[in-house]
């Protein structure tokens, strides 16, 4: 069952797709729902996607497809493949579609991620983030330079407590120190690999390691 705001957003997206063939921008959705921040729209979209009402088309910032409507809306979806379809116009990438995510400090700060929450926010292009909840960390040090992750970069992290072999993750060691490394398994142990030949892998008992998220993207300043 959808909340009133989720249903209102779904109806707005469906109407715009029917009228224009293009999904609305984050700014347009924010104004239509009278929200103060585009981060609220991002959360609503994630909720609709998780419930199977919409999906994002890959590699496009504004491409949304409505998969179904709740019974309460009493509005049938148009056929997915009409006999004489109108040629679809190219969907532009909206440069001003940004969302704000929490900035939790420097990855080598030596304290749990939870202790850093709520300190600041970072504006991020929506196209860099997929579904799910995200936060940002400022990278400190050169342990991941061979993966293109440099000191001072902002690592965009998707929250998760599980990771696959070879993913770059934020790992919390002994509930005290956070680190950004490749996640590997070595027999019964967990191995966290740097991307710098000058550093040695770190090997831990699985009970010492808690996954806090996986790398979703990077932002870099050049001034």
Pick the closest to residue 146 from 181, 120, 113 (CA basis).
181
Helix (H) or strand (E) holding 218, with range, is strand 209-219
Pick the closest to residue 64 from 101, 37, 29 (CA basis).
29
**pLDDT at position 108, please?**
58
**pLDDT at position 60, please?**
55
Told to judge if 181 belongs to the known catalytic residues of this protein, a careful annotator would answer yes
**pLDDT at position 223, please?**
64
Of these residues, 30, 38, 181, 214, which one is catalytic?
Answer: 181
Judged against a pLDDT cut of 70, whether residue 140 lies above it is answered with yes
Q: How many CA atoms lie within 13 A of 67 on its CB side?
A: 11
**How would you classify the pairing of strands 98-106 and 120-125?**
antiparallel
Q: What is the mean pLDDT of residues 85-112?
A: 58
**pLDDT at position 192, please?**
93
pLDDT digits (tens, 9 = 90+) for 170-194: 998 888 888 899 999 999 999 999 9
Domains defined along the chain, listed by start: 4-73 (1.10.10.10), 99-219 (2.10.109.10)
**pLDDT at position 207, please?**
93
The more confidently predicted of residues 46 and 198 is: 198
pLDDT digits (tens, 9 = 90+) for 142-175: 889 999 999 889 999 999 999 999 999 999 888 8
Judged against a pLDDT cut of 80, whether residue 12 lies above it is answered with yes
Distance CA(111)–CA(105), nearest Å, equals 10
Of these residues, 143, 189, 197, 214, which one is catalytic?
Answer: 143
Distance CA(98)–CA(25), nearest Å, equals 10
**pLDDT at position 132, please?**
82
> What single string gives the DSSP state of each residue in 156-213?
EEE--S---TT-EEEEEETTTEEEEEEEEEETTEEEEE-SSTTS--EEE-GGGEEEEE
- Indicate the pTM of the whole model: 0.57
């Amino acid at each position: 069952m959808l909340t009133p705001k989720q249903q209102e957003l779904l109806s707005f997206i469906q109407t715009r797709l029917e009228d224009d063939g293009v999904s609305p921008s984050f700014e347009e959705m924010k104004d239509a729902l009278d929200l103060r921040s585009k981060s609220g729209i991002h959360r609503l979209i994630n909720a609709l996607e998780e419930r199977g009402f919409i999906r994002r088309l890959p590699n496009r910032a504004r491409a949304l497809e409505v998969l179904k409507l709740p019974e309460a809306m009493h509005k049938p979806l148009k056929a997915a493949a009409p006999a004489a379809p109108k040629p679809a116009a190219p969907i532009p990438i909206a440069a001003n579609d940004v969302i704000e995510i929490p900035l939790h400090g420097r990855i080598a700060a030596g304290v749990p991620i939870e202790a850093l929450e709520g300190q600041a926010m970072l504006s991020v292009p929506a196209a860099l983030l997929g579904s799910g909840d995200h936060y940002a960390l400022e990278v400190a040090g050169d342990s991941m330079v061979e993966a293109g992750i440099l000191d001072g970069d902002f690592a965009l992290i998707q929250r998760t407590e599980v990771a696959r072999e070879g993913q770059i993750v934020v790992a919390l060691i002994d509930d005290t120190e956070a680190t950004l490394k490749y996640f590997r398994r070595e027999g019964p142990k967990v191995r966290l690999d740097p991307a710098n030949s000058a550093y040695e892998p770190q090997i831990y008992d699985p009970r010492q390691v808690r996954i806090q998220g996986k790398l979703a993207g990077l932002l870099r300043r050049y001034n």
